[in-house]
């Protein structure tokens, strides 16, 4: 299997490193517009293969899309990252042009690929990619919910002082500080409702920390996070390449699901070799449905800026 990652910045290179070190793909192509940047990152990663014990081939290229030919999955991370005080929404103007150009270029050489969108604002960039390319909706997937859910489970594990791998939790809605919806009611620890294990105030605190997870890291780091985003992308790519049929919250195109139409927003999806193979309908309560509708309205307002 072959994966192309467009954008060799922190998120893109971390994604490539995880995919290679875990032998998720046979070949990884890292592409960037900055001269020599992707080539240097690829060479550096390749020099870890003997010590880490992987056989994935990593190729770097400066804007040569011919090297991306026949990719099974293309990940778009390119665009400017957030700076402290910036919202994801403020990136629309610059990143929209980049994402549209990139998606057209990769499809010229990999017409059957599945596109995973990471660039912010992710829901709007996913919608743009789908509309501008005309691809079937299953082949354009936005990675946001996977990252938000990993942050949610991390904060839950800290609140419970229990292993994160024993916790199940999901975040749906828009990938934004005020639009994501941590499903605290449905979160469990080894099958036990977490709402029975910690106080309502603690659970609300976890929810708030999750929603501000990206902004918190941006303030601490001076730029967008990369380890968790890169690993979350690799997790999603792995489910596609291995046809794992995992349920992963992703930003996909809705046509009536969750009472929404003509929008890309985070919902639970079965992710396999064909991308988003099915949207899973969770029985949300009235309050959760109101939050989801509000989140969709906010995402639609961002889409108007395209």
Residue 114 near residue 103 (C-beta atoms within 8 A): no
Which contacts qualify for 196-203: CB closer than 8 Å, 24 or more apart?
A: 197/160, 198/159, 198/160, 202/159, 203/159
Instruction: Please give the backbone phi and psi of residue 241, each rounded to the nearest 5 degrees, phi first.
Output: -65, -35
Nearest to 144, CA basis, from 220, 210, 95, 206 = 210
Active site residue 109: no
57-80 burial code (b ≥16 CB/10 A, e <16): ebbbbeeebebbeebbbbbbbbbb
The number of angstroms, rounded, from the C-alpha of 17 to the middle of its chain's C-alpha atoms is: 16
Residue 125 near residue 145 (C-beta atoms within 8 A): no
CA distances 46 to 9, 42, 53, 131, Å, are 17, 6, 11, 36
Count other C-beta atoms under 10 Å from residue 29's C-beta. 26
Q: Which of 41, 139, 153, 175 is catalytic?
A: 175
Name the residues annotated as catalytic.
175
């Amino acid at each position: 299997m072959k994966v192309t990652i467009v954008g060799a910045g922190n998120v893109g290179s971390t994604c490539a490193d995880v995919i290679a070190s875990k032998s998720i793909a046979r070949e990884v192509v890292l592409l960037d517009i900055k001269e020599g940047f992707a080539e240097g990152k690829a060479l550096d990663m390749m020099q870890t293969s003997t010590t880490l014990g992987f056989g994935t081939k990593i190729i770097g290229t400066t804007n040569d899309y011919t090297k991306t030919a026949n990719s099974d999955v293309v990940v778009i991370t390119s665009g400017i990252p957030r700076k402290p005080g910036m919202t994801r929404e403020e990136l629309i103007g610059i990143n929209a042009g980049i994402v549209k150009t990139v998606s057209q270029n990769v499809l010229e050489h990999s017409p059957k690929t599945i596109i995973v969108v990471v660039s912010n604002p992710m829901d709007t960039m996913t919608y743009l990619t789908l509309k501008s390319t005309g691809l079937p909706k299953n082949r354009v997937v936005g990675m946001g919910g996977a990252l938000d859910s990993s942050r949610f489970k991390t904060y839950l594990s800290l609140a419970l002082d229990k292993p994160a791998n024993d916790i199940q939790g999901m975040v749906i809605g828009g990938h934004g500080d005020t639009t994501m919806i941590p499903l605290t009611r449905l979160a469990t620890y080894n099958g036990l409702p977490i709402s029975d294990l910690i106080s309502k105030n603690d659970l609300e605190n976890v929810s708030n920390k999750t929603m501000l997870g990206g902004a918190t890291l941006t303030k601490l780091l001076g730029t967008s996070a990369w380890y968790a985003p890169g690993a979350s992308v690799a997790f999603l790519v792995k489910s596609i390449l291995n046809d794992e049929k995992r349920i992963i919250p992703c930003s996909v195109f809705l046509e009536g699901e969750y009472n929404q139409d003509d929008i890309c927003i985070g919902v639970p999806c079965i992710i396999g070799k064909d991308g988003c193979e099915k949207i899973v309908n969770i029985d949300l309560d009235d309050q959760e449905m109101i939050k989801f509708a509000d989140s969709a309205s906010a995402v639609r307002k961002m889409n108007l800026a395209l």
